[in-house]
Structure 1
Amino acid sequence: MTPFKHARNVLILFLSLLGLTLMMLFGSPWLALRSAFMPRSERQAYVRRAITTGYRRYFTTLHFFNVFHLDLTELDRLRGDDGLILTANHPSLFDALLIISRLPNVVCIMKAQVLRNVMFGHGAKMAGYIPNDSIRNIVNEAARELEEGSQLLLFPEGTRSRRGRINPFQGTVGLIARRTGCPVQTIFIESDSGFLGKGWPFWKAPDFPVRIRVRLGQRFSPGDDSKQFIAELQHYYEQELAPPACSTHRADDARTSASRP
């Protein structure tokens, strides 16, 4: 990569993250003022739609300026599917934002300290996002939201993964699915870059544009055995996200050839 291209990528990274920070920083007070006198249910729906619109415009702008090449259209098929649990792999910090940018009635589970943050958490709190302070609260609030017709977004890994890997799945989605009887729609997020994945420093610029595709997978019915359900779900993700066998063989052949004198 030439020094000029590297400097360009660093500038793009800075401006992209700055734009997202400013949108989140000033968006919450704006939403609070606009929805101050609305009834709770009306305010929550309004805030969720506004968040979806804001993220959609943000990613549309990045796509226009060739920062991201995004293919998110499959998510549009889920609009109107009420009471649905959405699970996705977690390769980067943008994952939840990408999904929310297409689906206006999604509720997420967020870190409790982020929701309590005055600057960044108030908008998410108005949207009814669920704090991860206790598993009992998560399951109860998730069940209430699903009963009211919301779509619940979960990342079963619980944290971002490193490129090409899947972390062990947590049992939360199994507990919620068994409690509510709601179907689980799998979502796959695929990228040609490890940008903002686990271990990727904020200051490290990728080679833009970053290509991201989000596709839908199988829809699972919840079972009576949560542990078995989680094991089947993880196995399915590992199969779907495994590199093609031909690519694996080519990589092995390349390593073998490189090791020869």
Structure 2
Amino acid sequence: MGTTPAERRPDDAPPSGERAAAAAADPAHAGHAVQRALRVVLIVFTVGLYFALSPFGYVLCAVVLLIPTRDPSRRTRRLQAIVQVAFRAMFSWASLVRIMHFDWRAVRAGLNLPPGPAVIVANHPTLTDPLMVGAVVPNLSMVAKPVVYRRALIRPLLRGLGYVNGASQDPRSVQRLLDEAGAVLGQGMRFLVFPEGTRSPRDGLYPFGRSAFEIACRSRVPLISVLLRSEPRFLWKGAGFMRPPHPASRLSLELLNHYDPTDFDLDSRALRLAVESDYRRALQPPPPTDGPPAPHQETAP
């Protein structure tokens, strides 16, 4: 059974006949369709360019991994610096060809992070979120999804970067994650966790897990929350590369808050509740300002 225009969701593409009629009736709509099609072509070209150039990056990282060193943390920082350059180059290219816009230079200049190790948490609206944070935060390790970490070809690189394999529901797996993250922080790194565990829903957040907050409490390091946005939304869960919005998405990253776990008596549950509440408040849409003010109601004495 088909859907009527009133029943169709805003993100559902109309049938081709409707699109053609709309384009014929509205020149602006036709121009947007052309720009969207051109953006898809540029996305396909960019993905091909990535697969053509990425082997050179892997070879460079492999060479760094093979160089003997007495200080593994120094090698980790070198690898993190190489990967950060790659992330920045990707966003610079994406802005140049107008696939998406992320001004990492301006974000980096305005990001006032405390020195030393810290747990960084972020909401997760799009697929590019780890790259956004990695482009502006130095000495950054993070949790990698098990399905990615198990890939034999890139596992040595992930280990060299200080990335930690994500945990399953098994308590032993969670304990291993906590121990490995603590070891990374002990080397003076920053450690990124997306406490939702997956990309955010289209509106709001999924409930936060406790791992990030337990890591901060056990290691007694600051926890820093950053707020990520993608407007209009691109690469959200359920939307792939071939559905770019118009106009091109603008990505932003801002510092939300700093938390000292000792202010919460090293209680990871209390810390989680405070951080999640701050995120939900920050992501609430602003109240409407249009329309006449509400009438003043007199109360009886």
TM-score w.r.t. length of structure 2: 0.76
Verify: 1:235 aligned to 2:277, yes or no.
yes
Equivalent in 95, 105, 120 of residue 86 of structure 1: 120
Q: Is the 8 A contact 2:232 2:247 kept in 1?
A: no
Number of the residue aligned with 1:185: 224
Number of the residue aligned with 2:258: 219
Question: Cα distance 1:60–1:38, how it changes in 2: closer, same or farther (>3 A)?
Answer: farther
Number of the residue aligned with 2:14: none
Residues 65-214 of structure 1 aligned to structure 2 (within 5 Å): 65-72=97-104, 73-76=106-109, 77-78=111-112, 81-133=115-167, 134-214=173-253
Equivalent in 63, 69, 76 of residue 33 of structure 1: 63
TM-score w.r.t. length of structure 1: 0.86
Residues 13-24 of structure 1 aligned to structure 2 (within 5 Å): 13-24=43-54
Q: How far 1:119 sits from its partner (Å)?
A: 4.0
Number of the residue aligned with 2:90: 58
Question: Cα distance 1:89–1:22, how it changes in 2: closer, same or farther (>3 A)?
Answer: farther
Question: Cα distance 1:242–1:221, how it changes in 2: closer, same or farther (>3 A)?
Answer: same
Q: Deviations over 1:187-242 (max 9, x none)?
A: 01112122111111343232242111111111011123222211111110000111
Q: How far 1:120 sits from its partner (Å)?
A: 4.2
Number of the residue aligned with 1:11: 41
Q: Is the 8 A contact 1:162 1:199 kept in 2?
A: no
Q: Is the 8 A contact 2:39 2:98 kept in 1?
A: no
Distance in 2 separating the partners of 1:23 and 1:78: 33
Question: Cα distance 1:79–1:236, how it changes in 2: closer, same or farther (>3 A)?
Answer: closer
Q: Which structure has the larger Rg?
A: 2
Number of the residue aligned with 2:298: none
> How many aligned residue pairs are there?
249
Q: Is the 8 A contact 1:75 1:214 kept in 2?
A: no
Equivalent in 44, 48, 53 of residue 80 of structure 2: 48
Aligned-residue sequence identity (percent) comes to: 24
Secondary structure in 2 matching 1:211: strand
Distance in 1 separating the partners of 2:45 and 2:159: 27
Distance in 2 separating the partners of 1:67 and 1:75: 21
Q: Is the 8 A contact 1:177 1:184 kept in 2?
A: yes
Distance in 2 separating the partners of 1:10 and 1:163: 22
- CA RMSD, 1 decimal: 2.2
Q: Is the 8 A contact 2:227 2:255 kept in 1?
A: yes
**What runs of 5+ residues in structure 2 fail to find an aligned partner?**
1-28, 168-172, 292-301
Q: Deviations over 1:110-136 (max 9, x none)?
A: 012312313444432321210014211
Q: Is the 8 A contact 2:232 2:248 kept in 1?
A: no
Amino acid aligned to 1:156: P
Question: Cα distance 1:230–1:34, how it changes in 2: closer, same or farther (>3 A)?
Answer: closer
Q: How far 1:83 sits from its partner (Å)?
A: 0.8
Q: Deviations over 1:31-57 (max 9, x none)?
A: 102441231333212111100011111
Number of the residue aligned with 2:299: none
Secondary structure in 1 matching 2:213: helix
The answer to which structure, 1 or 2, has the higher relative contact order (CA under 8 A, 6+ apart) is: 1
Distance in 1 separating the partners of 2:179 and 2:54: 28
Question: Cα distance 1:48–1:108, how it changes in 2: closer, same or farther (>3 A)?
Answer: same
Q: How far 1:25 sits from its partner (Å)?
A: 4.6
